[in-house]
Structure 1
Amino acid sequence: MASDEPLVRFSGVQKSYDGEQLVVRSLDLDIHRGEFLSLLGPSGSGKTTTLMMLAGFESPTSGDILLDGRQITGTPPHKRNFGMVFQNYALFPHLTVEQNVAYPLTVRKVPRAEQQERVRKALDMVRLAGMGERLPARLSGGQQQRVALARALVFNPQLVLMDEPLGALDKQLREHMQIELKELHRQLGVTFVYVTHDQGEALTMSDRVAVFNEGVIQQLASVEDLYESPANRFVAGFVGDNTVLSGTLQGTGDGTAIQMPGGYLLPGVNVNGATLGSRVQACVRPERIVLHPYAAYPRGSAIPAAVTRSIYYGDHLRLMCDLGHGQEHATVKVALTHSDASAYPQPGQNVLLEFPPESTRIYAM
């Protein structure tokens, strides 16, 4: 098998539970060896169903799933050599940590001496050395999550599949475990496929992210491309924060621009081929908008706005600005670093907001 061949290939995969409504629609997806791929999307988008079909717990209604070029659509879960980590950890409460981790080896009839060595290495890997005799009830949530991860890794799987494994942890521990998981992935080089509805989590850990909505992958890209260049309006709204402006698409000497009801023309990138004169929406990240002191006449792509509120986030300040000019829901979010402190306007003050054309992404409605 050539090294550039994907480890897993979904080809035309569809899934329906009732024979009518498709939960997953015509899925084509390649998963590369050694990558950390996240399946991201809202509830009901098809991401978990996709993972369950890969694990073998669900069968496709149609289409093929290939592993190393070989059909596995009918292969039962225990013969796929995949590690699995669930949100609820699924540990056996009556077994010790060591016995839980050894369970996949026992099922595979690995000799006892080899089991002990592999379990020791797996517990070292997840920083649980010395805790092998404890029962799960005596562990914290983070420690239980590590046991589940050790159990998924102990038999050297080709793939590790994770279904929202950090969802039950508190925010600080969840962020700590994200870093640990990413580092473990880097050390092991095993292929990870990770389901989450948390876009921050996906951006933190992944090499690539597949954004699902209504059973379809809306965009599959690196985390940088996903954030900087959303492929459509759904991805722009689901991944990261945005200010959304409504208007009509106009042509300019250099390309296209969104013309807003107040007559202001903001040049931008016409992402998905909206036609001139059509209704469009422009999305701009809060940290890309440039704040200027108010002047009588706006220059370039800067337009007047009024500061209505400021919110302290710790690492940055966020200004909420009222754009007016006939805009619906015309609140513009502007993120300012603390180095900008001397320029912080107060609520009630007028400002100019500049929307850089390369960061103003225009989508058909």
Structure 2
Amino acid sequence: MSTATVAHFPSGSATRPAQSTPLVRFAGVQKTYDGVHLVVRGLDLDIRRGEFLTLLGPSGSGKTTTLMMLAGFESPTAGEIQLDGKPITRTPPHKRNFGMVFQNYALFPHMTVGDNVAYPLSVRRVPSAERAKRVAQALDMVRLGGMAGRYPGQLSGGQQQRVALARALVFNPQLVLMDEPLGALDKQLREHMQIELKELHRQLGVSFVYVTHDQGEALTMSDRVAVFNDGDIQQLAPVTEMYETPVNRFVAGFIGDSTDFKGTVRATEGGRCGIVLADGRVVTGLNVNGAVVGDSVQASIRPERIVLHRDLAAAGHPNRLQARVIDLIYFGDHLRALCEPGTGQPEAVVKLPLGGQPPQPGDEVVLELPSELTRIYL
């Protein structure tokens, strides 16, 4: 998105204030629908001013319920939600000054694009002249200038999503909430919109809270990611930290690709441990969760960090496992070798750069797992 297309509303600012008080705070928030099963369990979460925070997790993990409680469409069963240090748990949605973008766009089909975008200003009784000016700014901002007179049914899915975004931003919200807003778009358009959303966030400096189950979206756009599972946040961290240093095996498997080996701890030393696989081979790595001797564990490593050796003589060194290539898959910018690493072990995936002569199905190879990049999880 060109910076020239981004409008700055009168009370908005692209400068993110360095303030210690979070914009939003969840304190001990719980949610149950049946009085028995907790959909959200004792949530403590601070949302910073001006950040792009993504709530990521599988279906039923609690991420959407968390967003709906923040929006005011659901009420917590216990705990408190604060905005600028003041409780908003009982504040109705229309008084929270939050913009909302839904997956299905939620546009009024009988109203023009301009009227759809103007709707939040109309209910706030903004004078017509100011309303028209801000609608034009918002449409220019999402590159829909000149389309105010059209109806939603005359627009593509991507254009409708831009209208929904303009409507969410036109009244200068201090927080924009997005519930899987790109889920209905095709892959190419979705990836294009991810870049545009990130650029728009950078230009405006408004806090974005984004819900998705798509790890690629989370890594592409976010400042921080909160990974949910079973009603709890498993890890909250910047995207690079989340990818490089997952805190448990769920996060390691949910964020990015992971190649795993099962074994039993046979020794620990400092922050490392050695594990023995079912066939007696030994792998060492970082002892992430404090495993002790005898624990059943999983050694995980990113597929692009594995070094594949064609010379079987390399197998005589530590953290090197002989394996057999069973398939080779072309991904456009890289190859993936699927390998059978031994009895009782899941399939190992190795990412290989293009070029040279890759191994072929049936070839015996050696997989080197650098110990400093191998993480051992309970």
TM tier, smaller:
over 0.9
Question: Equivalents in 2 of 1:252, 1:213: separation in Å?
Answer: 29
- 1:276 aligned onto 2:290: no
2:267–2:292: 8 Å Cα contact kept in structure 1?
no
- Corresponding residue number in structure 2 for 1:260: 277
Match of 1:153 among 169, 174, 185: 169
- The within-5 A match list for 1:205-244 is 205-244=221-260
User: Structure 1 regions of 5+ residues with no counterpart?
Assistant: none
Match of 2:337 among 299, 309, 319: 319
- 1:33 aligned onto 2:67: no
- 1:47 aligned onto 2:63: yes
- The within-5 A match list for 1:151-230 is 151-230=167-246
1:4-43 residue CA offsets vs partner (Å, 9 max, x unmatched): 1100000000001111111000000000000000000000
Amino acid at match of 2:327: R
Amino acid at match of 2:365: V
- Corresponding residue number in structure 1 for 2:308: 291
Using the TM superposition, name which of 113-122 and 300-309 deviates more. Answer: 300-309
Amino acid at match of 1:269: L
1:325-353 residue CA offsets vs partner (Å, 9 max, x unmatched): x3243x11000111xx3241111111111
How far apart are 1:264 and its partner, in Å? 1.5
How far apart are 1:298 and its partner, in Å? 2.4
Question: Equivalents in 2 of 1:238, 1:301: separation in Å?
Answer: 24
- Corresponding residue number in structure 2 for 1:360: 374
C-alpha spacing 1:322/1:211, structure 2 compared with 1 (3 Å)? same
Question: Equivalents in 2 of 1:2, 1:207: separation in Å?
Answer: 15
Question: Equivalents in 2 of 1:193, 1:36: separation in Å?
Answer: 6
Question: Equivalents in 2 of 1:18, 1:300: separation in Å?
Answer: 53
Partner SS, residue 114 of structure 1: helix
RMSD: 1.3
Q: What TM-score, normalized to structure 1?
A: 0.97
Question: Equivalents in 2 of 1:119, 1:342: separation in Å?
Answer: 55
**Aligned pairs, number:** 360
Aligned residues: percent identity?
69
Question: Equivalents in 2 of 1:270, 1:327: separation in Å?
Answer: 22
Match of 1:24 among 37, 40, 52: 40
C-alpha spacing 1:352/1:109, structure 2 compared with 1 (3 Å)? same
Amino acid at match of 1:320: L
- 1:107 aligned onto 2:100: no
Using the TM superposition, name which of 237-246 and 28-37 deviates more. Answer: 237-246
1:208-236 residue CA offsets vs partner (Å, 9 max, x unmatched): 00000110000000100111111111111
- Corresponding residue number in structure 2 for 1:351: 365
C-alpha spacing 1:62/1:265, structure 2 compared with 1 (3 Å)? same
Partner SS, residue 342 of structure 1: coil
- Corresponding residue number in structure 1 for 2:326: 308
- 1:69 aligned onto 2:85: yes
Question: Equivalents in 1 of 2:360, 2:128: separation in Å?
Answer: 69
How far apart are 1:261 and its partner, in Å? 1.6
1:308–1:320: 8 Å Cα contact kept in structure 2?
yes
C-alpha spacing 1:32/1:203, structure 2 compared with 1 (3 Å)? same
Partner SS, residue 149 of structure 2: coil
1:54-82 residue CA offsets vs partner (Å, 9 max, x unmatched): 00000000100000000000000000000
